[in-house]
Amino acid sequence: MRLIVLLALVGLAFSIKVYGNQLKCKDASIQETVANAIQVCTTELVQADPKQLNYSNILLELAKLEHRAANYDLLIYYVAKLEASEHYLSTIELQYERHRLMGQLYYHQLQYMQSQSYFESALAIADKESNIEWLAKSNNDLGLAHYRQEQYKKALLHYKESLFYKEKIGDLYLIATTLKNIALLNKTVGDYPSSVQYYESSLKKFLEYQESFPEDNRVNNSLSHLYEDMIIIYSIIGDKTNYKKFLDRLLDSMATKQSYKEKVRALKNVALARIDSKEFEKVKVLLPELERMNTDLQFQGEVHYIKGKLAIADMDYAKAKDFYILALNELLSDHNDQLLVSLYQELYLIAEEMSLYSEALSYLGQLLVHKEHVLKLQYQSDIGLVKEQIEKERFMRQAIESELENSAKANKIKQLTYISIIGLLALLLLSISFFILSTKRKREREKLLLSIKAHEEKLFLLNSEKSTSVENENISEDSFRQILVDLMFEACTAWEQSTGTNLVELAEKSKIWKVSIDSGRLRTRSLDKYLNLHKLPANPRWKNVVKTCHFVLSEECLDLQKRSVLEDKLEDFMELVKKRSMASST
């Protein structure tokens, strides 16, 4: 009787809070638990006018709440009603959110390609509308979809794009979410220091947000997820202090988990982390509760793995092997390569312990296959390929050492040895090629620097000479003038195309030509005359043209082809000057 009265009082208090303060659906989804928010929104939906935009907005909010509660059938129901509502086709925000929700639905149903398609449609809308908040959300969504498909480069690009927009918005909750996703990606590819750094940054942002918005219930659930990830990463790197700290925080936050599925996953992650920390007795206490709650068997593979590890701790290898094989059957369809690597490693060690060498070699082969797949996903750069090769060689050596114990596998040993030698020779050849290329480039640069220095010295000598005229010799004056104009034109063209600047910049830097101001604009009238045969002075200052060529050639950024052409033309011109001088002296 007392219990009934108490429940009635709680219901009355909630009704007073909702209806006395006129709590709206949108506010309830932030301030209340998911269950209470759904009750508020459902009540408001009944009272709303289907012809009003608010009706469609309530449907959208209910779909989001059912997504948070993992009630996917109701999510589909409210999305369908949203699409049929009067304002759906005329409201771009409703269309955007509908694409996101459908993407999230397929994502949680592990249909990542369909999920990606909806997320891309949402991103297209966000891009068309230039909506920064939508761009931030959609890039994060696509990062998740690519991550689940092991497309880590694409995932990281979308995460970083999302982080860029979120930092422009300044929303700490959104920033923390993407930082957590980047941390998980780094953990997956084996970059544990970076993973820890991003997890700590995410935690800091979540706590800052919680301090500013304590009424937002979403952050409690997000922090609980974060603690799950952090106990795993600290367990992996052997940081017992932080592992214990975040394990305590996770256990304290279990009450905030509003989804049964989330509670099961949290228990599973606690058990796995304690297995890594060799807290086997605590895992034995936790295991019955985990099995009781895992009614849909979603985490059955991990549960079998945990049982196998406990059997290993008790030195019951036959029992451990049975559990590992059960786990293997569950996990092969999930493509959980990280855990599969651990499973094959354990099965290989058990087979060796039980003197089942043929099985040991079979498990070792599978271990190498899955480890190679993990390494390919981890290292997607040139440096990564080198690290991958090192890891392959280490596992090859392990395989060779194991096969030496079984003389019947001698041919296999030779084959692996040849592969290792070929790989090493390929690396050696690559190193030699890189050394030769580097040496060649070094010589070319030295040659270029010598050429530049030579032109600088020639420019200095020309600047020191007073005479700027040339005698009138037997060689045609018209030809001389034409060649002079061509040479100046080639020098100016090379300057403009290589430096990206104009003739005013050339005149000012070289100090060979005057720069004047005409109608408020800088002009190079004297230089311009040497680019037109008809405007060329009667007694051209050919040494100024030569000085200009040397100045242009002294620029290191000059295009190599332009440099070669200009040097050839300058040599031809200097040869012409030499002939005129010799003709004059005779």
Identify which of 480, 496, 473 has the alpha carbon closest to the alpha carbon of residue 545: 480
Question: Mind listing the pLDDT tens digit for each residue in 512-554?
Answer: 998 888 888 888 888 898 988 888 998 898 888 999 998 888 8
* pTM > 0.85: no
Which pLDDT score is estimated for 394?
Answer: 36
How far lies 489's CA from each of 13, 56, 481, in Å? 90, 70, 12
3-state helix, strand, coil in the chain (%, to 5): 80, 0, 20
Q: Could you tell me which residues come within 8 angstroms of residue 50 by beta carbon, excluding any fewer than 6 positions away?
A: 85, 86
The answer to whether position 525 is within a domain reads: yes
Amino acid at 191: D
Between 457 and 574, whose confidence is greater?
574
Say if residue 13's pLDDT is above 50.
no
159 is a domain residue: no
pLDDT at 125: 93
Residue 473 lies in a domain: yes
pLDDT digits (tens, 9 = 90+) for 43-86: 888 888 888 888 888 888 888 888 888 788 888 898 888 888 88
What are the backbone angles phi and psi of residue 148, rounded to the nearest 5°? -65, -20
- Please give the single-letter amino acid code of residue 298: Q
Q: How many structural domains does the chain have?
A: 1
Note whether 29 and 64 are within 8 A (CB). yes
Residue 154 lies inside a defined structural domain of this protein: no
- Residue 271 lies inside a defined structural domain of this protein: no
Q: Is residue 93 part of a domain?
A: no
Decide if 535 is inside a domain. yes
Q: Is residue 510 part of a domain?
A: yes
pLDDT score of 437: 67
Instruction: Find the domain containing 571 and state its range.
Output: 465-585
Collapsing DSSP to helix, strand or coil, 100 comes out as: helix
